[in-house]
Amino acid sequence: MTKLSSLIAGIIFGIGLTISGMVNPQKVLGFLNIFDDWDPSLMFVMIGAILIFSPLHFIFKKKSRPIFAEKFIVTTNKNIDKNLIIGATLFGAGWGLAGLCPGPAISSLSFLNTSVYIFVLFMFLGFYLVNFIQSWK
């Protein structure tokens, strides 16, 4: 049941990203470009997500376990370290340069756009490189 609920949630998330325009790199870059021709429309997507998530989070965080899983998985790491700063910087730079982050990039694969395939290829290469570099430690 956990895998099925994850699949359904992923499909709904992908559909939401597509409907909202977050899979369109030009729309995302227009939102990030606050100094030139700013497109604030994605702000309404974020506000809508917060309005839906906040009350549900408040309700479900008091439960002893999630509906479709054995337990909540919440990180206990509260440290801001070098790896977090480097990762956040790379994520932000990639998002700002390409107009895509991992969720919208995966959703965009269905549009058969070569540049999206290249982005996703290098995204997964980056995931692999992080694990490879961390295995040296």
Q: Which long-range contacts (CB under 8 A, 24 or more apart) does 127-136 make?
A: 130/87
- Band (pLDDT 50/70/90 cuts) for residue 60 is confident
Q: How many helices (H) and strands (E) does the chain have?
A: 6, 0
Kindly tell me if the per-residue pLDDT of 1 is higher than 80. no
Spatial distance between the Cα atoms of 105 and 98, rounded to a whole number of angstroms: 10
For the cut 80, the answer to whether the pLDDT of residue 10 exceeds it is yes
Alpha carbon distance 8, 11 (integer Å): 5
Determine how many CB atoms are found less than 10 A away from the CB of residue 30: 19
Across all residues in the chain, what is the average pLDDT? 88
Three-state DSSP string of 33-55 = CCCCCCCCHHHHHHHHHHHHHHH
**Which pLDDT value is given to residue 66?**
83
pLDDT at 120 over 90: yes
* The pLDDT of residue 45: 87
For residue 6, pLDDT beyond 80: yes
pLDDT value at position 98? Answer: 87
Q: Nearest-CA neighbor of 32 among 108, 82, 97, 86?
A: 97
